[in-house]
Chains A and B, each alone.
Chain A
Amino acid sequence: MMAARFLLRRAVPALRHARCYADAPAGQMSFTFASPTQVFFKEVSVKQIDVPTLTGAFGILPAHVPTLQVLRPGVVTVFNDDGSFAKYFVSSGSVTVNADSSVQLLAEEAFPLDTLDLAAAKANLEKAQSELSGASDEAAKVEVLISIETNEAIVKALE
């Protein structure tokens, strides 16, 4: 599959819609990960990123097919070039993989996983679950459901 892509690139470099990665050096991924208040990675070369999206969790390697996805509350794992990895919890956001192998991960809120407290998350989850029955209108109900989903994800991530 990769060989076929290689040939395609060599043979038809001018064709617009061919997936040509001629711009990026092989195996390089320029990764930008930021929230509105904090920048975690800025155009850094990393090995792999695991992201939780609405359509499921998937891993992004260099030369991944370009795509746009929307994030779900969950854990983002970044594997650096030197083998170490870092985990962050994101609430929501978007991820863009471009044709030149650059990835922009924009999260509405993102925190390193070790800054989150399991006990507080469990307490929030129970409070949200009890609020669900008392929620009056559509909007309040949706808010409580979002709160439940997020807290469940935090608890699952920390356990």
Chain B
Amino acid sequence: MFARTSAAVFLPQCGQVRNMATLKDITIRLKSIKNIQKITKSMKMVAAAKYARAERSLKPARVYGTGAMALYEKAEIKAPEDKNKHLIIGVSSDRGLCGAVHSNVAKAIKSEIAKLSSAGKEVMVVNVGDKLRGLLYRTHGKHILINCKEVGRKPPTFTDASIIATELLDSGYEFDQGSIVFNRFRSVISYKTDEKPLFSVDTVANSENMGIYDDIDADVLRNYQEFSLVNIIYFGLKESTTSEQSARMTAMDSASKNASEMIDKLTLTFNRTRQAVITKELIEIISGAAAL
């Protein structure tokens, strides 16, 4: 520190010299970082509690969701390649501070839109969650069909999924094929951005394996499809919430750790600065007394 002060003497006047932080500056910084650490720690606790609840309700939702998709897997329903109207449902939420959750979904959707647009197909996007809208509307604003807000504050219910599905069906966009992009929960520390397919009534009705299924009229099939749509959206919402809460827990945990490190370093700097100030005062006093 003294070496730095003596070096400052040799610097030309036009350059800016970095002043040593005064005690007051360090105290202010220390106080604010301590506050931040308290906040991030409490956010981690809240996220941990919400995560525990979300994971518990994810178990039945997973069985329910895989049951809903079982038909499409067993009957190997595939959308024909030449269909033009696509739909992407992106699931995220309104709140941030949860790591890369929202940007992963946005990235997947952007690459999907680019791929489909270059193949000449029409794509529309349903945003579930304000964060996703913020990430997409500037560059892909003309692809956005529906925005959903107030997502993520409370755990998602089947009613929420049915509201989204109703809005989608009422919007009049007759999609031939679609997919839902969400973060699938793998474990507390890991999630993966996944995509599940959605099929329209026509695709299912014209699929070759549907001939096996007995006694299906158009009305029953339409009801079944609408119910399936809600089920898949519900599954995506549940998985996404659990991933988000676990990601927020991890993010807040590392934020608290970083804050602790900064507090330690700053405390050391504070003590050194305090001792330096005392020493300086002593020197002044002693040299003043010596001058008498």
Q: Is B60 touching A39 in the complex (CB atoms < 8 A)?
A: yes
CA distance A39 to B220 in the complex (A): 25
Q: Is B59 touching A39 in the complex (CB atoms < 8 A)?
A: yes
Say yes or no for A75: interface residue by CB 8 A criterion.
no
Q: CB within 8 A of B74: which of A16, A67, A70, A99?
A: A99
Residues of A within 8 A of B71 (CB): 68, 96, 98, 104
Task: List B residues 83-135 near A (Cβ within 8 Å).
Answer: none
Which among A29-37, A82-90, A127-135, A140-148 touches the partner chain? A29-37
Q: Is A102 touching B70 in the complex (CB atoms < 8 A)?
A: yes
Say yes or no for B145: interface residue by CB 8 A criterion.
no
CB distance from B78 to the nearest CB of A (A): 14
Task: List A residues 94-145 near B (Cβ within 8 Å).
Answer: 94, 96, 98-100, 102, 104, 106, 108
Given contacts A36-B234, A55-B220, A67-B215, contact A100 B64 (CB under 8 A): no
Q: Is A67 touching B67 in the complex (CB atoms < 8 A)?
A: no
Chain B: CB-nearest residue to A71: B227
Interface residues on A, range: 20 to 34
Chain A: CB-nearest residue to B60: A39
Say yes or no for A66: interface residue by CB 8 A criterion.
yes
CA distance A100 to B243 in the complex (A): 33
Render A20-53 as a binary contact track against B, CB cut-off 8 A, 1 for contact.
Answer: 0000000000001011111100100000000000
Chain B: CB-nearest residue to A20: B212
CA distance A67 to B74 in the complex (A): 12
Chain A: CB-nearest residue to B213: A66
Interface residues, chain A, CB within 8 Å of chain B?
A: 16-17, 19, 32, 34-39, 42, 54-55, 65-70, 92-94, 96, 98-100, 102, 104, 106, 108
